[in-house]
């Protein structure tokens, strides 16, 4: 199994775990768990993009925003501001934690999950 395939499996698993926690009734523990799952799913998303672009396209990117821009240019994801906003959300969760921010991010997670699922579908289509 190559690195991309292994990361793609991990990404799929992370998406499922985020989907599962978002299906639970919301309370502080569920919210915080969802945010944590969002963080590691994001990290898998951009690192899987990085590996895919390197292995399949011969392109290098070294940061989340660079990889997302490259994914746009390779039509792996459609252009909109959502991915850059997701990257900013990830940066916020890494450096700050407060209740208002947690509520704001939690409210955006269903849309973020949709973006993760779209990216996963693009990877699967590119594999075939």
Establish if 20 belongs to a structural domain.
Answer: yes
**Residue 95 falls in the annotated catalytic set:** yes
- Is the separation of the CB atoms in 102 and 32 below 8 Å? yes
Count of the separate structural domains present in the chain: 1
Q: Tell whether 34 is covered by a domain.
A: yes
* pLDDT of the residue at 8: 97
Rounded to whole angstroms, how far apart are CA atoms 22 and 33? 9
Q: Is the Cβ–Cβ distance between 89 and 64 less than 8 Å?
A: no
- CATH number where 44 lies: 1.20.120.330
**What range defines the domain where residue 36 resides?**
3-123
Residue 128 carries which DSSP code? -
User: Could you confirm whether 13 is annotated as catalytic?
Assistant: no
In our burial notation (b when 16+ CB lie closer than 10 A, e otherwise), range 98-110 reads eeeebeebbeebe
d(CA 2, CA 6): 6
Res 1 pLDDT > 90: no
Interval 5-54: pLDDT, tens: 999 999 999 999 999 999 999 999 999 999 999 999 999 999 999 999 99
Instruction: Identify whether 128 is part of a domain.
Output: no
Q: Is residue 25 part of a domain?
A: yes
pLDDT in tens, 80-103: 789 999 999 999 987 777 889 999
Residue 17 CB partners (closer than 8 Å, separation 6+): 37, 41
Q: What is the pLDDT of residues 50-74, one digit of tens each?
A: 999 999 999 999 999 999 999 999 9
For residue 111, the tally of other CB atoms under 10 A from its CB is 11
């Amino acid at each position: 199994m190559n690195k991309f395939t292994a990361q793609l499996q991990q990404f799929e698993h992370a998406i499922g775990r985020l989907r599962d926690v978002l299906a639970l009734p919301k309370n502080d523990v569920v919210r915080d768990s969802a945010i944590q799952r969002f963080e590691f799913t994001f990290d898998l998303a951009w690192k899987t993009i990085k590996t895919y672009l390197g292995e399949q396209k011969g392109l290098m990117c070294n940061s989340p925003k660079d990889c997302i821009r490259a994914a746009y240019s390779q039509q792996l994801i459609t252009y909109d501001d959502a991915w850059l906003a997701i990257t900013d959300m990830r940066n916020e969760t890494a450096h700050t934690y407060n209740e208002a921010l947690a509520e704001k991010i939690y409210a955006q997670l269903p849309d973020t999950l949709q973006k993760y699922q779209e990216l996963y579908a693009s990877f699967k289509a590119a594999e075939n």
